[in-house]
Amino acid sequence: MKHILVVDLVETNLKCAVEILRDKYKVTTSRTEINVLEILKDEIPDLILVDINMPGRKPDYALRWKQNQKELAHIPVILQSTVMNEEMEKNALN
């Protein structure tokens, strides 16, 4: 079974993601970047789905996890947000 790591500060968003994905995927959730780093030490997901609007974080923080660890380089990251504008998109991709 494929494994998806969902990162979001909002518990309701995490619960919705689990509800939608759990029949077809193993789903691990995290509300903090520190917890994500702990999860990635033990498990390598097939996909990381991450909210780019976590307080105190630049939009590219999820991509930096991959740069710091070679074993994560192949993992696709989907950046998501409930609020998105052109500037945020540009920042996330740079």
Q: What share of the chain is helix, strand, coil (3-state, %, to 5)?
A: 45, 20, 35
For residue 14, the model assigns a pLDDT of 95
pLDDT at 57: 63
Q: How many CA atoms lie within 13 A of 92 on its CB side?
A: 18
Per-residue pLDDT of the chain (94 residues; tens, 9 = 90+): 999 999 998 999 999 999 999 999 999 999 987 788 788 888 899 999 988 776 666 656 666 766 777 788 888 888 887 766 676 666 655 5
Strand, coil or helix: what is 28? strand
* Predicted TM-score (pTM) of this structure: 0.81
